[in-house]
Structure 1
């Protein structure tokens, strides 16, 4: 076996993954459940991990309810990188190895409008309240962890009931972007990294203590037979390279 140069050992994935790559002759197939808001991040992380490790990732995305269903009835999987809210469901939590999880990324809520549209004032909670009350329609994903936080913010502003008729519920992050970009909804209210997309102009994050992060955390499945590979993926997700990609896509590692 050829000796690795110092540059390779110090490359993007770190020593743990390099050693795993060298000591496993047969490539593994790792099944990952992931929050839909991290889709663009995985678009970059997946090929980098696969190229450096020799293992293949099969990533299934979903909202919080969809991830709970996938974890409990969607067939075997090896690893989840999902909103913490998934673990609040007892049946879903039972599908993951007990013990501490590893936080991978976090992101807060924001507001966006169609590209070129006038940006409303959301600089204070009261300004945000008035902007939402004046909006004809709002695109979000009420069933998701982020959407639940949006609804709680509406309640804290005292406009929960008033907003019900304005909400244009969407099935996934891409549809939130599409609804606003196409003019089907006047504003998008969701995770700010999702709203940073072509066709939309981000107005800004939620002001003050209305801001609440959604945290995506990693845990192994109780049924995984690829523990070493799954742990190596978590190790990679905590490397400086992965952190740089997460930041570039609008989240914080």
Structure 2
């Protein structure tokens, strides 16, 4: 039996990959982590066959020769969203002003320290002038899914990429953060320069599988 190809992937596409890989026709195993953590491990010398990271992360590794130049495939585009525990009221977040009010009114909330969404959210609450008030009642997890904290009833609001919120049972998606208080990340895949010969075929199949319908099921948009 052939050795599975190894993929190092951002958490943002975890649910999507878990749905698609069993039918991909090629054995593969995936390590899921925030992009920042994966980049740190790659910088320390760790290698796989395919990397799925932020667009900037892939471009940087291709420029340094770690990823094979010209193999980048843009997989998906993702926005940051907000979720509440299942059955909880949905706050109004249709404008920057209403989002600000919802964050101040919430008794508790959770965001991530390591992920791109958490870094952006920390900057957002600073820009809105509410960082001290929000952080006083916030749980800031080092990595992983913020929605798991909300699903356990330990936070009233969870902030993260919509696709990551949707990967967790026990929460309801309120929606994307409004324009002016959101950022969009493009996630890309490429093969490592040291990848095995089968890697290009898996990368090609991955690109073909990213249909609008599949992406939408997981809270993602076409790249």
Q: Which residue does 2:162 correspond to in 1?
A: 192
Distance 1:125 1:60 in 2: 36
Distance 1:154 1:85 in 2: 24
Q: Which residue does 2:215 correspond to in 1?
A: 246
Q: Secondary structure at the match of 1:40?
A: helix
Distance 2:23 2:218 in 1: 16
Decide whether aligned partners of structure 1 residues 234 and 172 sit closer, same or farther in structure 2, where only a CA change above 3 A counts: same
Q: Secondary structure at the match of 1:58?
A: strand
Q: Which residue does 1:163 correspond to in 2?
A: 134
More off after superposition, 70-79 vs 217-226 = 70-79
* Runs of 5+ consecutive residues of structure 2 not aligned to the other structure: none
Q: Which residue does 1:16 correspond to in 2?
A: none
Bigger fraction of residues in helix? 1
Q: Which residue does 1:17 correspond to in 2?
A: none
Aligned length: 220
Question: Quick check: 1:177 aligned with 2:170?
Answer: no
How far off its partner does 1:29 sit?
2.9
- The 5 Å alignment of 1:77-88 reads 77-87=48-58
Mapped contact 1:125–1:207 kept (Cα < 8 A): yes
Mapped contact 2:150–2:156 kept (Cα < 8 A): yes
Decide whether aligned partners of structure 1 residues 200 and 78 sit closer, same or farther in structure 2, where only a CA change above 3 A counts: same
Question: Quick check: 1:235 aligned with 2:204?
Answer: yes
Q: Secondary structure at the match of 1:108?
A: strand
Mapped contact 1:72–1:91 kept (Cα < 8 A): no
Larger radius of gyration: 1
* Runs of 5+ consecutive residues of structure 1 not aligned to the other structure: 1-25
Mapped contact 1:68–1:92 kept (Cα < 8 A): no
How far off its partner does 1:70 sit?
2.7
Distance 1:201 1:82 in 2: 26
TM-score (norm: length of structure 2): 0.87
How far off its partner does 1:103 sit?
0.9
More off after superposition, 65-74 vs 207-216 = 65-74
Distance 1:163 1:84 in 2: 30
Q: Which runs of 4+ in 1 moved over 4 A?
A: 87-94
